[in-house]
Amino acid sequence: MKAAILVKQKSPLVVDEVQIPEVLHYGQVLVKVHYSGLCGSQINEIEGVKGPDRFLPHLLGHEGSGVVEGVGPGVTNVKEGDHVVLHWRKGKGVESSTPVYKLGGRTVNAGWVTTFNESAVVSENRITPIPKSFDMKLASLYGCAVTTGFGVVQNDAGVKSGESLVVFGAGGTGTSIILASSLASAYPVIAVDINDFKLENARRFGATHVINSSREDARQKISEYLSSDADVAVDTTGIKEIRELAYEVSGREGRTILVGVPKAGEKMCIDSFKLHFKKKITGSHGGDSNPAYDIPRLLRLQESGRFSLEKMVTKVCSLGEINAAIQELREGRVIRCVIKMC
């Protein structure tokens, strides 16, 4: 099968033929990948945001959709022929050992789930079955962006109707947070970014106000839009100054949720005095979502017509075009790009 492999950090992925493990071990599932989403987390891995990578070469990707082609011993939650979402958060079932792929005679590492490959051996608890009628392209978004966005709003922030919310960064995850906030009847929902394309898209998903912080003073504009500071401020960028600003614009009893991953060793500076009272700051880990529970309920909600994800996918490309797509994601020219595998 073909796969996109991270061979060297800060370098393009290598697309080559990789050999799939011949035997499925306890808790492992073989999935034919149909679509894979591209996430900023993969750019962080490529760029080494968390530091040197000790597992090179390895496969990438953590949100996708596909069809089960085989199951190993102990697997009970899916069967051959099931349509599934592949996700990085733990769901229902066995956590298996991680697979070992081969590139020629060389070992290619992988985690419990990878999606930048035409087929994947994944852990049972990293896939969730979905109805066969559901659009596989849109299903891939439920592996990370959508479930994280809803989890941030519902679990991390506990947004209530009428509460104000500011989102810094309007990419795939930020857009999902905006959508979830809108469905929770938050008001106003303010999107802050430096990219007009992303901000215009944020309006489509429920942002009531948008701020281009490359042209406007974000702190001042937020104050103009709110009668007081924000009830909730969310950072999806991981940038030190923006994380600090998110904390500043949340009110005396506000909640600041940090979703974006900072560079290794980079520290933020805040006035912690208010934390002794009712102000809160929380680091999010995928919105604390449970894919086995969250994916089915969100699929039902989408199928009811409450929202559509069509406009979130702004580019579809092939595996051979993955490096160009990653560059477009870096440059902010896409909201969510998906790789069509078959």
Say yes or no: 138 and 23 in one domain: yes
Say yes or no: 117 and 132 in one domain: yes
pLDDT band of 143, cuts 50, 70, 90:
very high
The domain spanning residue 41 has which CATH number? 3.90.180.10
How many residues can be counted in the chain?
Answer: 342
Largest CA distance in the chain: 64
Say yes or no: 227 and 261 in one domain: yes
**59 in any annotated domain:** yes
DSSP for residue 275: G
**199 in any annotated domain:** yes
Say yes or no: 212 and 267 in one domain: yes
pLDDT in tens, 210-220: 999 999 999 99
Long-range residue pairs from 237-243, CB within 8 A, at least 24 positions apart, any chain: 237/168, 237/169, 238/44, 238/49, 238/262, 238/263, 240/266, 240/267, 240/268, 242/168, 242/169, 243/268
Say yes or no: 25 and 155 in one domain: no
**214 in any annotated domain:** yes
pLDDT in tens, 189-209: 999 999 999 999 999 999 999
The domain spanning residue 241 has which CATH number? 3.40.50.720
Its pTM surpasses 0.85 = yes
Say yes or no: 81 and 150 in one domain: no
Say yes or no: 133 and 152 in one domain: no
**24 in any annotated domain:** yes
- Give the span between the Cα atoms of 340 and 97, in whole angstroms: 27
Q: Are strands 230-235 and 165-168 parallel, antiparallel or unpaired?
A: parallel
Say yes or no: 94 and 31 in one domain: yes
pLDDT in tens, 80-98: 999 999 999 999 999 999 9
Taking alpha carbons only, the member of 86, 113, 84 closest to residue 98 is: 113
**301 in any annotated domain:** no
Say yes or no: 109 and 198 in one domain: no
Say yes or no: 71 and 188 in one domain: no
pLDDT band of 266, cuts 50, 70, 90:
very high
pLDDT in tens, 7-57: 999 999 999 999 999 999 999 999 999 999 999 999 999 999 889 999 999
pLDDT band of 248, cuts 50, 70, 90:
very high
Q: What does pLDDT average to over the chain?
A: 96
Say yes or no: 96 and 151 in one domain: no
**296 in any annotated domain:** no
Domain with 204, as residue range(s), is 145-288
Q: What is the pLDDT of residue 105?
A: 87
**293 in any annotated domain:** no
Q: What is the pLDDT of residue 321?
A: 98
Structurally, how many domains does the chain consist of? 2
Say yes or no: 134 and 264 in one domain: no
